[in-house]
Structure 1
Amino acid sequence: MRRFLSVLGVVFLAIIVVACGIFGYLGHVRSGLDASSKAFVDTSIPLIAATWSKDDLLNRASVELKQSAESKPREFQAFFLTLAKLGALKKYEGSRGGANVFLETVKGKVVTASYIAEATMEHGEVYFAVRLVQRDGEWQFQSFDVKSPAFAIATTTQDVTATREPPAVGR
């Protein structure tokens, strides 16, 4: 019985050591993913918002986001025309969020990140909610949503498109 308990104790200790090693590794990897995904967001959003360039977004988009834009070209164009009414980027406030690593049985390791960012445009404040996916070591936008209080402050009936929030792209 004493020998059995000794073996059981060694096995239990080995499991604890392996679990600690896995958690330590994932923490280290996640830290690097947080830094790289935040750098991607804080570089890409100001570039896109500076001129509201749909090409700048599509160059950084995932396959799913590109397919969504291609399947609804009018909505995608309207989204950027509405955003252009906000004017040029005046000040980017930065982003908050982080990365996540998931292990799926079919896809294997899936790396995503979610961020919220704020900016000041010529004609109002803007709030970004973006979701990223990492493929082949490169970050890509999986969704790119923009909201602004300026969309709700339309005073004329002629400018109906500015009274609504832009359609969500990539969902």
Structure 2
Amino acid sequence: MTALFDTATAAGAVDTALHLEIQHFYARHMQAVDLGDVAAWAAGFTEDGVFSTNAFPEPVVGRAAIEAATAAGEEARKPTGVIRRHVLTTLALEPAADGSVRTRSYVMVLETLPKARTEIYCSTLCEDVLVRGEHGGWLIRSRHILRDDLIARD
């Protein structure tokens, strides 16, 4: 596994205001998908954004394709009545000279079926590259999700 994130350089100080701004971006982003607002969630990606994961055979490229793939997943889950929550923790940032920011976090995806206990669907490592959008907010240029349950082990 090759990581986008350099833990050696990430050990330095990160501006608190930047960290809070990005935390707020992620709060809105994750809540959008949890509430079923796939369009708002997908709008968090650049037009040419890339979403890759060890759960998919190939990366999904482009905001429209990311939105369509996510909408299809949401539609497939609808009949079950499942509620999903994405819980992002341990957010670390690595600002780059070009103004982009690499992020690394753990995201637990919780699922609750009607009248059932909440269970962990999966535990993941999320590595993003964020860039400023034309209106000053953050957009995801690339996201790589590594699901812990799908890691090949020797």
Q: TM-score, normalised by structure 1?
A: 0.49
Paired residue type of 2:13: G
Distance 1:109 1:139, change over 3 A: closer
User: Which one of the candidate residues 129, 132, 136 is aligned to 1:135?
Assistant: 132
Query: In structure 2, the residue corresponding to 1:109 is in which secondary structure?
Result: coil
Q: TM-score, normalised by structure 2?
A: 0.54
* Cα distance in 1 between the residues matched to 2:31 and 2:102: 21
- Following superposition, the deviation at residue 34 of structure 1 comes to 1.9
Distance 1:73 1:97, change over 3 A: closer
Distance 1:28 1:120, change over 3 A: closer
- Following superposition, the deviation at residue 68 of structure 1 comes to 2.3
Higher relative helix content: 1
Cα contact 2:47–2:63 (8 A) shared by 1? no
User: Which one of the candidate residues 71, 88, 97 is aligned to 2:91?
Assistant: 97
Q: Which of structure 1's runs of 4+ aligned residues deviate more than 6 A?
A: none
**Partner deviation per Cα, 1:3-36 (whole Å, 9 max, x = no partner):** xxxxxxxxxxxxxxxxxxxxxxx8353x322222
Gaps of 5+ in 1: 1-25, 153-171
Aligned positions, number? 118
**Partner deviation per Cα, 1:136-158 (whole Å, 9 max, x = no partner):** 44122332748597xx9xxxxxx
Distance 1:144 1:54, change over 3 A: farther
Listed as ranges, the matches of 1:36-75 within 5 Å are: 36-51=21-36, 53-65=37-49, 68-70=62-64, 75=69
Gaps of 5+ in 2: 1-11, 51-60, 114-118
Kindly name which structure, 1 or 2, has the bigger radius of gyration based on alpha carbons. Answer: 1
Q: Percent identity?
A: 6
Distance 1:56 1:120, change over 3 A: same
* Cα distance in 2 between the residues matched to 1:64 and 1:76: 16
- Following superposition, the deviation at residue 72 of structure 1 comes to 7.4
- Following superposition, the deviation at residue 75 of structure 1 comes to 4.4
Higher relative strand content: 2
Distance 1:92 1:60, change over 3 A: closer
- Following superposition, the deviation at residue 78 of structure 1 comes to 3.7
**Partner deviation per Cα, 1:15-73 (whole Å, 9 max, x = no partner):** xxxxxxxxxxx8353x322222122212321221122x321212222222285243578
Higher relative contact order (CA 8 A, sep 6+): 2
* Cα distance in 1 between the residues matched to 2:77 and 2:89: 19
Cα contact 2:99–2:131 (8 A) shared by 1? no
Paired residue type of 2:49: L
The two structures, once aligned, show a CA RMSD in angstroms of 3.7
Distance 1:93 1:73, change over 3 A: closer
* Cα distance in 1 between the residues matched to 2:67 and 2:25: 26
